[in-house]
Amino acid sequence: MPEERYKKTDNPISIDANQEDGKTDNSQEKIKRNENLRTTRLELSDPKMRQAVKYIIANKFIIAGLSKANIDVTSERSMLMLSESFLRRGEYEKSEKYGAQCLKRLGEKGEAYKSALRPLEELQLFLTMVKNAESIGSDTESVRKVLKECENAIEQENLEEYFKKIDKAEKEMKKELKKSLPIFKNVIRTQLEEARIRKLDFKVRDDIFKELDNAFAKEEYMIALVHAINCIEEINKARDDYALSIVEEAKKKLESVKSAGE
């Protein structure tokens, strides 16, 4: 994503929930705790545990961002410590409860909270974009690898590393879309022609494909992907409607035959 979208920090951030302001905890205990959280998130299946871990990861990252902006998050750190403590003891419901309360309190920080939360939202949006790219046949293995690194940066509260990795992910995505979109454009063009030959009543605007072409020509590959998905969704909807209309017409004819025979 464009670098100017977010304010980047001068140095990597690694702030633990229980550290004092201005100090960095590089202890083995913290490293072990972070590794335990990642392992737990990946390997266990309890839904309350998963939700508790999600709260902890989100809260840690947001607290790091707010701390960098000199926002007082002392009480929120205490709640996060409680949430982590309950998680380590296997009391997932209590961990989830304090995690949710912590996130709610952080949400009361206003614009500062929104700014700290934005990378998490951006990552989710990017993951959705990856799924869309995969649906048109794009090879996103390299992109997913970088996004995993983005997730790791978030877990470690390292904003600077996150921004570097998300920029790298965007470059990888654009490189792949540059290869796959032309192929998919040909598929869409063929399907549009088939729809017109069959005189399907569909709502694909003539300018949608032009928008796709224009975005691709401008090397706006992410936008082109959105137009491509819109095209294929409307074509599929037209096919479904057409198939349904044939079934309904067949039913009417069958009813007419039955009525004539009575």
Instruction: Determine the Cα–Cα distance for residues 241 and 225; give it in Å rounded to an integer.
Output: 24
Secondary structure of residue 136 in the 3-state scheme: coil
Please, what is the end-to-end C-alpha distance for the chain in angstroms? Answer: 69
Amino acid code (one letter) for 32: K
Instruction: Determine the Cα–Cα distance for residues 205 and 171; give it in Å rounded to an integer.
Output: 30
| % helix, strand, coil for the chain, step of 5 | 80, 0, 20
Q: Is 8 left (phi over 0), alpha (psi -120 to 50) or beta?
A: beta
Instruction: Determine the Cα–Cα distance for residues 126 and 170; give it in Å rounded to an integer.
Output: 9
Question: If you write DSSP's letter for every residue of 233-257 in order, what string do you get?
Answer: HHHHHHHHHHHHHHHHHHHHHHHHH
Contact 165, 153 (CB under 8 A): yes
Contact 74, 18 (CB under 8 A): no
Neighbouring CB atoms inside 10 A of 217's CB total 9
Per residue in 148-161, is it b (16+ CB within 10 Å) or e — as a string? ebbbebbbbbbbeb
Main-chain dihedrals φ then ψ at residue 119, nearest 5 degrees: -60, -35
Distances (CA, A) of 231 to 139, 204, 223: 20, 7, 13
Q: Which helix (H) or strand (E) holds 229?
A: helix 221-261
Contact 187, 41 (CB under 8 A): no
**pLDDT number for residue 24:** 40
Secondary structure of residue 89 in the 3-state scheme: coil
pLDDT tens series, the chain, 262 aa: 443 343 333 332 233 333 334 344 455 555 555 555 554 444 455 778 888 888 888 888 788 778 777 788 888 889 999 999 988 888 889 999 999 999 888 888 766 666 666 777 778 888 888 988 888 888 999 999 998 898 888 777 677 788 888 889 989 999 999 989 898 888 888 877 777 777 665 555 566 778 888 888 888 888 888 888 888 777 777 777 767 776 777 677 667 666 666 5
The sign of the dihedral angle between the CA atoms of 174, 178, 183, 186 is positive
Secondary structure of residue 158 in the 3-state scheme: coil
Contact 163, 10 (CB under 8 A): no
Neighbouring CB atoms inside 10 A of 192's CB total 20
Look up the pTM and report it. 0.51
